[in-house]
Amino acid sequence: MTAAQRESARQERAQRESQENHVSGATVWLTGLPSAGKTTIAYELAGRLRAEGRRVEVLDGDEIRDFLSAGLGFSRADRHTNVQRIGFVSELLARNGVLVLVPVIAPFADSREAVRARHQAAGTGYVEVHVATPVEVCSVRDVKGLYAKQAAGEISGLTGVDDPYEEPESPDLRIESQDQTVRESAAALHALLTERGLA
């Protein structure tokens, strides 16, 4: 079997599995700067969805970097590899009826597009959420002290400061977390998922 035939067979299998699963899973990717609120919103929403009886997983960026992406750094190539690995696992789970919340920076548009294309080819739902908290707010929150470390010259290559963040041009939802509570942010995303028949 050629590589093209293998890829075509893989896509057919993925589409068949997606159709056979009666509960529609999807990947919900929350992209944004460090301290934007991605993780907090993901866990708040996951709690609400689980209480409603939905199968949910959160693919937390930090956990992934401890296991699936252990050894990867923050170069452009490593971030791309990290995002593709997460996208691969997420699509597998989503295809099998799980609603997968992915609070991962994913700073490069081409990396995000490759993940979206993989979902599209398999017929698996994909929702992009830009947690669009401005860097001025993120750097005050500074949950992990990274902005302070960058300012002190202890680290470099911090997304949004001295490393690129390519904003999504047309996300399915943009959350301005600086203007609302965590519950309100999670509720906005819950409303979108309900509208799309995913929650």
Ligand X SMILES: Nc1ncnc2c1ncn2[C@@H]1O[C@H](COP(=O)(O)OP(=O)(O)O)[C@@H](O)[C@H]1O
Contact with ligand PPS (CB under 6 A): which of 62, 63, 154, 184? 62
Rg of the chain in Å (alpha carbons)? 17
34 to 53: interface string for ligand X, x by CB under 6 A:
xxxxxxxx------------
What residues numbered 138-167 form the site for ligand PPS, per CB under 6 A? 144, 146, 157-159, 163
Question: With respect to ligand PPS, which residue has the nearer C-beta, 104 or 175?
Answer: 104
Contact with ligand X (CB under 6 A): which of 9, 117, 140, 143? 143
Q: Is 160 in the site for ligand X (CB under 6 A)?
A: no
What residues numbered 65-94 form the site for ligand PPS, per CB under 6 A? 65, 74, 79, 82-83
Vertex 57 angle, CA 118 and 55, to 5°? 100
Q: Segment near ligand PPS (CB under 6 A), from 30-38, 89-97, 123-131, 177-185? A: 30-38
Helical pair 3-20 and 109-122, crossing angle rounded to 10 deg: 70
Q: Name the residue number minimizing CB distance to ligand PPS.
A: 61
Task: Return the percent helix, strand and coil in the chain, to nearest 5.
Answer: 50, 15, 35
Question: With respect to ligand PPS, which residue has the nearer C-beta, 144 or 183?
Answer: 144
Contact between 26 and 32 under an 8 Å Cβ cutoff? The reply is no
Q: Is 40 in the site for ligand PPS (CB under 6 A)?
A: no
Element holding 130 (H helix, E strand): strand 125-131
Sign of CA dihedral 48, 135, 106, 68: negative
How many other C-beta atoms can be found within 10 angstroms of the C-beta atom of residue 62?
A: 10
Residues at the interface with ligand PPS (CB under 6 A): 34-35, 38-39, 61-62, 65, 74, 79, 82-83, 104-107, 144, 146, 157-159, 163
